């Protein structure tokens, strides 16, 4: 019998790619999602016998309990994702990103789920010096509601070490980029590429602040690998998820895009914007302990997005991203 994986947030930008990866590699997937973002649901896997969609809220404890029956692993992708959306809906953010996720963890323990993977964020590092890179032991400095909830859940999970038999693993994801069936153009690489492709005026604030980036396909590969890795290697471990060579400033991303699309319509605004974060991240633990080296560069992501935009039929100005929610 195939191992069942419950993906919370399975209909999202990353969740769609993870579902595909797991189905292709002999897992059965239950995609649990309340479709909170104001976009229609895609039905890509609905005819696959190894896929089931559950349209339910993370705070619906009865449905959550039902969905956790006979589950081998839970991947927690669900939540209000990103700083702008959590700032817009602070109360809902707390209910989902902390209270809801905590309930998932408690129920997973009660249901003896073998593997629980919590997807956290490199945004937890907040603001560090330009000459430093953050490994997993670096001091956490969350500057947003989104990151603060992630840090609190990490602490909750790690407090249970040596107290439970379940295998918990935390991955601090870099900023995502690349193509997905449920596309987002509110992410830096994707957004900048589309704006420059469409010859839009692009204003870039804090152009010399650093971030790490990671392709959605690499995220799917990492999560798949984690489900197959022996428990003693990953239980109660924290991993930064990304690639050292994908630490970029916003200016560097624009310059890379302009190698393919020359543009004079980019304005670098050298004054502080609304986002003070600045951090570079070390990903050596992912390579050394899990043996995974990310495969997709920023350049790869830019090229595939350009190719998609060249062949797209729909209105290229359509807003695809986590801009607003259904309440």
What CA–CA distance (Å, rounded) separates 185 from 173?
A: 18
pLDDT at position 50 over 80: yes
Which residue shows structure tokens 């980029």? 177
What CA–CA distance (Å, rounded) separates 217 from 110?
A: 32
pLDDT at 116: 98
Which residue, among 69, 238, 271, has the nearest Cα to 155 in the 3D structure?
238
Task: Give the pLDDT band (50/70/90) at residue 86.
Answer: confident
Task: Give the pLDDT band (50/70/90) at residue 4.
Answer: very high
For the chain, which domains are there? Answer: 4-176+214-241 (3.40.50.720)
Task: Give the pLDDT band (50/70/90) at residue 191.
Answer: very high
- For CA atoms 77, 80, 85, 90, the dihedral sign is negative
User: For residue range 218-230, what is the model confidence (pLDDT) as tens digits?
Assistant: 999 999 999 999 9
Which residue shows structure tokens 């690489």? 189
Radius of gyration of the chain (CA): 19
Distance from CA of residue 291 to its chain's centroid? 20
Q: What is the DSSP letter of 125?
A: G
Task: Give the pLDDT band (50/70/90) at residue 85.
Answer: confident
- E strands, 14-137, are 28-33, 51-55, 73-76, 115-121
Q: Please, are residues 58 and 35 in contact by the beta-carbon 8 Å criterion?
A: no
Structure tokens at 107: 């129920």
User: For residue range 5-46, what is the model confidence (pLDDT) as tens digits?
Assistant: 999 999 999 999 999 999 999 999 999 999 988 777 888 899
What CA–CA distance (Å, rounded) separates 294 from 313?
A: 31
Contacts 24+ apart (CB under 8 A), 40-45: 41/11, 42/11, 42/16, 42/181, 42/182, 44/16, 44/20, 44/181, 45/19, 45/20
- E strands, the chain, are 4-8, 28-33, 51-55, 73-76, 115-121, 167-173, 175-177, 202-205, 210-215, 237-241, 247-249, 266-269
Task: Give the pLDDT band (50/70/90) at residue 217.
Answer: very high
Structure tokens at 188: 């830096």
Give the global pTM: 0.95
pLDDT at 322: 56
């Amino acid at each position: 019998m195939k191992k069942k994986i419950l993906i919370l947030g399975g209909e999202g930008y990353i969740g769609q790619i993870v579902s595909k990866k797991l189905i292709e590699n002999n897992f059965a997937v239950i995609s649990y999602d309340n479709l909170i973002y104001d976009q229609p649901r895609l039905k890509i896997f609905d005819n696959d016998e190894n896929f089931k969609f559950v349209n339910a809220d993370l705070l619906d404890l009865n449905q959550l309990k039902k969905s956790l029956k006979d589950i081998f692993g839970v991947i927690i992708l669900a939540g209000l994702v990103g700083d702008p959306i959590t700032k817009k809906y602070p109360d809902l953010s707390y209910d989902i990103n902390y209270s809801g996720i905590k309930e998932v963890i408690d129920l997973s323990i009660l249901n003896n789920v073998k593997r629980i993977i919590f997807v956290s964020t490199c945004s937890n590092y907040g603001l560090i010096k330009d000459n430093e890179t953050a490994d997993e032991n670096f001091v956490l400095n969350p500057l947003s509601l989104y990151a603060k909830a992630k840090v609190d859940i990490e602490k909750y999970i790690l407090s249970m070490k040596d107290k439970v038999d379940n295998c918990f693993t935390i991955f601090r994801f870099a900023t995502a980029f690349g193509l997905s069936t449920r596309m987002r153009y509110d992410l830096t690489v994707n957004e900048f590429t589309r704006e420059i492709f469409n010859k839009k005026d692009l204003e870039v604030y804090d152009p010399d602040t650093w971030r790490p980036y990671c392709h959605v396909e690499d995220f799917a590969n990492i999560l798949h690998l984690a489900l197959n890795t022996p428990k003693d290697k990953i239980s109660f471990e924290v991993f930064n998820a990304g690639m050292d060579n994908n630490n970029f400033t916003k200016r560097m991303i624009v310059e890379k895009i302009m190698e393919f699309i020359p543009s004079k319509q980019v304005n670098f605004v050298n004054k502080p914007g609304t986002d003070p974060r600045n951090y570079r991240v070390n990903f050596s633990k992912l390579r050394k302990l899990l043996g995974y080296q990310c495969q997709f560069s920023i350049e790869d992501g830019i090229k595939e997005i350009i190719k998609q935009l060249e062949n797209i039929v729909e209105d290229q100005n359509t807003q695809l991203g986590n801009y607003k929610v259904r309440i």
